[in-house]
Chain A
Amino acid sequence: MMDDRRHGIPDRTRPRRRVLLALAALIVAAALALAWAKAPRAQEPVQPLVVDLSDHLVAITTAFSGTDVLLFGATDGPGDVVLVVRGPPTRKVVRKKDRIGIIWANRDSVTYENVPAFYQVFANRPLEEIAPRSVLARHQIGTQNLDFVPVDQSVTDSFVPGFRAALVRLKQKADLYGVGTQPVTLLANRLFKADLHFPANVPTGAYSVEVYLIRDGSVISGKITPLVVSKIGLGAEIFDMAQQQGPLYGLMAIVAAVASGWLAAVALRKK
């Protein structure tokens, strides 16, 4: 680009800067147009991985009871496709109950940061056949490779792994972490698709869908597609009001309760 500009403006001492700028802009535009015109042919070798979602917004409406989003894409040839759906990072406390006398009570706890609120891995075949552990660990693929950061703990370091495993297990029990991998369907070694399921209790926030193209055990290409999980409509308005105008919301909740209680008493009296 710089070369083009020098060719187009041989005389650098020209006083009229406006003309100079206009000329430069023209050349840049021409270069861009040329690059764009060439693009269709160049696309396939340059982009080994193309991905999109059927929807970039998971809208939690009043009738929400879980939803599916279709992920689809194409590769430039044979290879394994691995998908990671990751929710926003959160801070979680894992508590462990112990017997104190005859009563079971919480005793030890470990607090973790950087815990994805939601986590699911998709792959076209078992992960261990696709790539070595080091590669999976580098990209945090698989629950055992998640980078939880223990920030506060009441136990010795040697007991922390038990808490980490419990965190993953409890998340899986709540349907927020996948058990193993979900399937990715490959078509003719070029196209792929996967059904991303989001359960009714899916946490809200900014998600990312990471797609990796892996060939011979190494990552050839990666794409990150954003996905937003958000409350929509009446539910969202109620939530916002509760967050922003707590006292007023509380008063309204009381008024609604008193009114409906009174209404019911009046309505049912006739019977």
Chain B
Amino acid sequence: MQIYLPIAEMSVNVFVILGMGWGIGFLSGAFGVGGGFLMTPLLMFLGVAPPVAVGTGANQIVASSVTGVIAHTRRGNVDFKMGGVLLAGGLIGSTSGVWLFGLLQRMGQIDLAISLCYVLFLGVVGGLMLVESLQAMWRIRRKGRTPPKDTSGRRSWVHALPFKMRFRKSKLYISALLPLAVGVGVGLLTAIMGVGGGFIMVPVMIYLLGMPTQVVVGTSLFQIIFVTANTTFLQAALNQTVDVVLALLLIVGGVVGAQAGARIGARLQGEQLRILLALLVLAVCGKLAFDLVATPSDVFTLVVETQ
């Protein structure tokens, strides 16, 4: 069954889009990633223009994140206080990021900058997560169910920072400046890469802030809702690149997938969850890196001149 997308200006198979939405929604629910880092390349692969893919993807992630947050809130897995601080930083970061994006665009090579950003961050994040979670699993196998959480070395300077706040859900008593800075940094990157940023946010929350994995997922989703809503609004207002018909199809598939994903995610252990996410991130990274290095099938590309 074909449907015509009014903004993307193309005809697509309804079931392909529904299936894509389901898959992305599943990941969103299970891992706490918005799925933008998969959605954007997938939509472009279908032939959707990159700006429309970014704008519409953001719109869909708003919906799947709302569903995910509700599911995680019921299990008490959302630290709203932490999410709020991260969000404040995220809005500052993404606003500066939009400006930086414009600067890179004027310099040319924005496509290359985006691809390199993806490869770099997906590679580093995925690699670190895979190594760490494999080590953790290995330790559990040997010593039984007591993974040693030894981050005392880092705590020394972290604890010296002012504006300390207690995040009860995350079982943390740290300076608010830390999550704020994390929010700014991630927000900056996500605006440039056009994604929600869960795939960066989740590992940063686990490894840098030391939050428990179960809380990380819901809290990350909570923050993603607002970052992607911001992106949707800016894209619609400035570039008219949000296709609601495409977004709604993705949402319908996505909300169902997110529920299934949240259930699976709750059943999996933290380490397993992290290994799977790490493998997924590395797979996308590998594909993008391959595309950068491999000889393209056609060295020419055609773009519509945008003034």
By a beta-carbon cutoff of 8 Å, the part of chain A in contact with chain B is 60-66, 90-98, 102-106, 111, 163, 166-167, 169-171, 174, 200-201, 203-204, 231, 234-236, 238-239, 242-243, 246-247, 249-254, 256-258, 260-266, 268-269
A266 and B67 CA atoms in complex are apart in Å by 9
Contacts of B234 in A (CB 8 A): 250
By the criterion CB–CB under 8 Å, are B293 and A254 in contact? no
Choice from A97, A200, A261 contacting B4 with Cβ under 8 Å: A200
By the criterion CB–CB under 8 Å, are A93 and B4 in contact? no
Residues facing A in B44-69 (CB within 8 A) are 47, 59-60, 62-67
By the criterion CB–CB under 8 Å, are B240 and A246 in contact? yes
By the criterion CB–CB under 8 Å, are A203 and B301 in contact? no
**Which interface residue of B47, B66, B235, B259 has the most chain A CB atoms within 10 A?**
B66
Kindly state whether residue B105 has any CB partner on chain A within 8 Å: no
By the criterion CB–CB under 8 Å, are B7 and A97 in contact? no
Residues facing A in B291-305 (CB within 8 A) are 292-296, 298-305
Closest residue on chain B to residue A98 by CB atoms: B299
Closest residue on chain A to residue B295 by CB atoms: A104
A166 and B59 CA atoms in complex are apart in Å by 35
Per DSSP, chain A at the interface is helix
Kindly state whether residue B252 has any CB partner on chain A within 8 Å: yes
Choice from B2, B64, B225, B248 contacting A200 with Cβ under 8 Å: B2
The 5 A-B residue pairs whose C-beta atoms are closest, nearest first, are A250-B236, A261-B66, A264-B255, A200-B11, A166-B300
A257 and B292 CA atoms in complex are apart in Å by 34
Kindly state whether residue B150 has any CB partner on chain A within 8 Å: no
List 19 additional A-B contacts (Cβ < 8 Å) besides A65-B11, A90-B304, A92-B305. A64-B11, A91-B305, A104-B296, A105-B292, A166-B300, A166-B302, A235-B245, A243-B240, A247-B237, A253-B59, A254-B229, A254-B233, A261-B70, A262-B66, A264-B63, A264-B67, A265-B67, A265-B71, A265-B259
For chain B, the bracket of interface size reads 35 or more
By the criterion CB–CB under 8 Å, are B240 and A257 in contact? no
By the criterion CB–CB under 8 Å, are A260 and B301 in contact? no
Choice from A238, A257, A263 contacting B6 with Cβ under 8 Å: A238
By the criterion CB–CB under 8 Å, are A258 and B232 in contact? no
Kindly state whether residue B284 has any CB partner on chain A within 8 Å: no
Contacts of B9 in A (CB 8 A): 201, 203-204
By the criterion CB–CB under 8 Å, are B251 and A257 in contact? yes
Q: A2 CB to closest chain B CB, in angstroms?
A: 52
**Given A94-B302, A104-B294, A106-B301, are A262 and B70 neighbors across the interface (CB < 8 Å)?**
yes
Contacts of B4 in A (CB 8 A): 60-65, 200, 235
A252 and B243 CA atoms in complex are apart in Å by 12
Contacts of A265 in B (CB 8 A): 66-67, 70-71, 255, 259
A169 and B297 CA atoms in complex are apart in Å by 13
A247 and B304 CA atoms in complex are apart in Å by 24
Choice from B64, B225, B232, B258 contacting A253 with Cβ under 8 Å: B232
Contacts of A95 in B (CB 8 A): 300-303
A sample of 6 inter-chain contacts (CB < 8 A) reads A95-B303, A97-B296, A98-B299, A200-B11, A247-B237, A249-B242
By the criterion CB–CB under 8 Å, are A260 and B300 in contact? no
Residues facing A in B227-284 (CB within 8 A) are 229, 232-238, 240, 242, 244-245, 247-248, 251-252, 255-256, 258-259
